[in-house]
Amino acid sequence: MKMDLAPAVTAALLFTAFHLQAAPAVSSGHGGAVATVSEQASQAALQILDQGGNAIDAAVAAAATLGVTDPFSCGVGGGGFMLIYSAADDKVISIDHRETAPAYFSPEVFKQDGVAMEWQDVVPTGISVGVPGTVLGWQEALTRYGTMNFEQLLAPAIKVAEDGFMLGENFNRISTINEGKFSRFSSASQLYLKDGKALPVGTHFRNPDLANTYREIAAGGARAFYEGDIAKDIVAAVNQPPVTSGTRVLTGSMALSDLKDYEVRVRQPIHSTYRGFDVYGMAPPSSGGIAIAQALNLLETFDLSTMSRAEVEHLYLEASRLAFADRNAYVADSEFTDVPVAGLLSKDYAKERAKLMGEKASAKREPGDPFLYQDDPSVPLRPSNATLGQESTHTTHLAVSDREGNVVAYTFTIEDWGGSGIVVPGRGFLLNNELTDFDFSAPHPNVAEAYKRPRSSMSPTIVLQDGKPAFTIGSPGGSTIITTVLQTLVNHIDLGMSLPDAVNAPRMSQRNGDTTLVETLLEFPGSDQASALEALGHRLAETDQIGAANGIIFNDDGTVTAVSESKRHGVGTALVQQQ
Binding site for ligand GLY (CB under 6 A): 391, 395, 413, 415, 437, 456-458, 478, 481
Alpha carbon distance 433, 126 (integer Å) = 8
Q: Between 97 and 215, whose beta carbon lies closer to ligand GLY?
A: 97
Q: Between 440 and 554, whose beta carbon lies closer to ligand GLY?
A: 440
H or E segment and range at residue 391: none
From 213, 395, 413, 573, the catalytic residue: 395
Residue 153's identity, in one-letter code, is L
CB of 448 to ligand GLY, least distance (A): 14
CB of 347 to ligand GLY, least distance (A): 26
How crowded is residue 201: how many other Cβ atoms within 10 Å of its Cβ?
Answer: 18
Query: Which ranges of 370-507 does DSSP label H, i.e. alpha helix?
Result: 480-489, 499-504
For 289-446, strand residue ranges (E) read: 396-401, 407-413
Peptide bond into 242 cis (omega under 30): no
Q: Between 287 and 374, whose beta carbon lies closer to ligand GLY?
A: 287
Interaxial angle between packed helices 347-354 and 288-300, expressed in degrees from 0 to 180 and rounded to the nearest 10? 60
For 234-311, strand residue ranges (E) read: 265-267, 270-274, 277-281
Q: Which of 358, 401, 435 is closest to 45 using CA atoms?
A: 401
Burial class (CB in 10 A: 0-12, 13-18, 19+), 532: middle
Query: For residues 514 and 364, is the Cβ–Cβ distance under 8 A?
Result: yes
Residue nearest to ligand GLY (CB): 456
List residues bridging with 291 in a β-sheet. Answer: none
H or E segment and range at residue 380: none
Distances (CA, A) of 508 to 320, 369, 478, 491, 565: 10, 27, 14, 12, 16
Q: Between 33 and 123, whose beta carbon lies closer to ligand GLY?
A: 123
Peptide bond into 241 cis (omega under 30): no
CB of 483 to ligand GLY, least distance (A): 12
CB of 33 to ligand GLY, least distance (A): 25
CB of 495 to ligand GLY, least distance (A): 26
Q: Between 79 and 469, whose beta carbon lies closer to ligand GLY?
A: 79
395 is a catalytic site residue: yes
List residues bridging with 435 in a β-sheet. Answer: none
CB of 420 to ligand GLY, least distance (A): 12
Q: Between 391 and 494, whose beta carbon lies closer to ligand GLY?
A: 391
Active centre residues (catalytic): 395
